[in-house]
Chain A
Amino acid sequence: MALNFYISVDLILLTNRKAKNLVELLDVIKSAPGSVIFYHTHRFLQQHHYLSPEPPNDFAYWTTNVLLERVIGEKLASVNIISYHTLTELKDKFVSILEEYLRDVKEIRDAPEGMEFHFMQSKSFILKTDYVAHNLREFYDIIKKLSIHSLYYHVFQSRLRLEKSDNDFSIWLREELCEEKLADSISRLDPYTQTLEGLRSKICSLVEVRLNDKD
């Protein structure tokens, strides 16, 4: 079956929920829907996709830079998003880090007025593009010119937000083209530690090597 390429564009919704310290942050995260967790762990990716190393997730950034709580900030920043397959699992990880830290902490520090953490959520709109790949060569040609909104959808959003087992490219390569090894290599790329352009060029190189092997 051919691979259809999609783009995803997000609208940001305000939840009117905010936190001024870690207790409140934990409280809101606990009851937050997946769309809130997705927004705050992927905002930097969408807005700062040209930066590498990119800033960490919003929870870590606020804890470190506003509350000036470096230890817990570092722990929140080190959450390896690529290792989670659902937003619920990811949320539980943030909850457990915060709960563990708050069990022992003696003093709760408040953010300066006006610098509270504002919770937001993304509403995602997914649209089909005109690009369709039927084989590895076509896949390669499309990846080279694909918009980053499309790359973002197939690598990040599809896997975590739509809770697929892997990124769309690896699933298609494995299941439709029987390119097991190439699919695994793309799965192993950690998209959270590079820019979207860097990711595109790595995927292109891997496919290029495979195309050369076949020739």
Chain B
Amino acid sequence: MIKIDDYKPIVGEEIVEELFLIGKQLRGKVVQNINSTSVGGGVAEILSRMVPLLQQLEIDARWDVIKAGEKFFTITKKVHNALHGVELEISQQELDYFLEVNNNNANSMALYGDIIFVHDPQPVALAEKKNEIGRKWIWRCHIDFSNPQEKIWHFLKSYIEKYDAAVFSAPAFARELSIPQILISPSIDPLSDKNKELSEQEIKSVFERFKIDMSRPIITQISRFDYLKDPVGVIEAYKLAKKYVDCQLVLAGGSATDDPEGEKVLNEVKEKASGDPDIFILLLPPGSDFEINALQRGSTVILQKSLREGFGLTVTEALWKEKPVIASAVGGIPLQITHKYSGILTTTIEGTAYWIKQLIQATEYALKLGKNGHEHVKNNFLITRHLMDYMLTFISLFHEKDVVHLD
């Protein structure tokens, strides 16, 4: 198990000491996390890392999961898509069933926390219980909320407003709400397989396996094959840049079996790339964290030319590896990249091609961007900062003023 002290060599001893100092403020309080699944999915992954670390900071953090069946999750999948702006119909019967499952859980599960920390929309209506039992309630939204379908938003809003605070991952996700809204960016774990240090040999072995020439510049975009990640635009930008600089392109991402459009996008990408032996399209199986880590570390420039994005954790990962990153200014990416300081923000294919050329040729500048990007992630987007934000969120529930003096 990862120990909180393992982060000291990475973030500095004083940061870990500060975490303990803040943690002291929460002694005697029980923090009860509630979500809809204990395995699989991003939230379960975050909680499986965060809860043990909070416990090591001597906070009584616990984690419970609601009970629900397939019918409920089919409905919540629709809710999830509707929150992403997809036009689909969710019937009143489906919403009633959603509430029934929430209500059953609210009545059957032990709600013992002094702070009840509910994650994502699935268990949102547990807060109906707040009037009866009191306590402090926080709702944490982990998903892109920038363009939700109005009807489903109004349905959820009536439950979200029962909480004491809501937490979002990017400024664009803020909504008209009567409760305080807190910004907590997601984070990466520098000790995970996807982000830990790799030896030169380990990196080389991955590139050799995929037959990519490490002696020539390599541009890489890591993302699933999805229109919103604009892989075709990436190929166009690469082709424009390649007229003037020698380079190879790697498009690597997970398979898209649950996405009916995925195969179509992949076919378009393959067609666009056909005939160019310097384009590598890598369909990686789940669990390819080591390969992704190596591909990012061995690349010259990393792209994230998304048309829409959540927070954009692949950008965080690339910045952490001291890579110069060219990305679109969408979702959470502008929080991570300050243009020309810690990376490059572009809006067009031509602009992306221009900066590919610049960064391949201006190696010193590319190096500086990479170093700044790494520092930025170190200070703002590692799991240690995430722990600090969670603790401050809990503490904030007990203090109303803008400036809080703690004992």
Contacts and interface: CB of A to CB of B under 8 A. Distances in A.
Interface of A: 7, 9-16, 18, 33-35, 44, 47-51, 55, 61, 65-66, 112, 114-115, 118, 120-129, 147, 149, 161-162
Nearest to A161: B403
A126 B395 CA distance: 12
B22 A127 contact: yes
Contact of B329 (A15, A50, A115, A125): A115
Contacts of B21: 7, 127, 129
A15 B342 CA distance: 26
Given A125-B392, A147-B18, A49 B379 contact: yes
Task: Determine which residue in A18, A49, A65, A125 has the highest number of CB atoms from chain B within 10 A of its CB, and name it.
Answer: A125
Contacts, number: 105
Nearest to A157: B403
26 contacts: A7-B21, A9-B22, A9-B392, A12-B183, A13-B182, A14-B174, A14-B181, A14-B183, A44-B338, A47-B379, A47-B380, A48-B376, A51-B372, A61-B338, A65-B339, A114-B329, A115-B334, A118-B172, A123-B403, A126-B403, A127-B21, A127-B406, A147-B18, A149-B18, A161-B403, A162-B403
Interface of B: 12, 14-15, 17-18, 21-22, 25, 146, 168, 171-172, 174-177, 180-184, 329-330, 334, 338-339, 341-342, 345, 347, 372, 375-376, 379-380, 388-389, 392-393, 395-396, 402-407
Minimum-distance CB pairs A-B, first 6: A118-B171, A14-B174, A147-B14, A14-B181, A11-B392, A12-B183
Contact of A48 (B25, B330, B338): B338
A123 B341 contact: no
A31 B88 CA distance: 39
A7 B339 CA distance: 30
Contact of B15 (A10, A61, A122, A147): A147
A13 B181 contact: yes
Nearest to B147: A114
B330 A9 contact: no
B182 A11 contact: yes
Nearest to B338: A55
Given A14-B168, A50-B372, A123 B396 contact: yes
Contacts of A18: 171
Contacts of B372: 48, 50-51
Given A12-B184, A122-B402, 12 more contacts: A9-B392, A11-B393, A14-B168, A14-B174, A48-B341, A118-B171, A124-B402, A124-B404, A125-B396, A126-B403, A127-B21, A147-B17
Contact of B181 (A16, A48, A66): A16
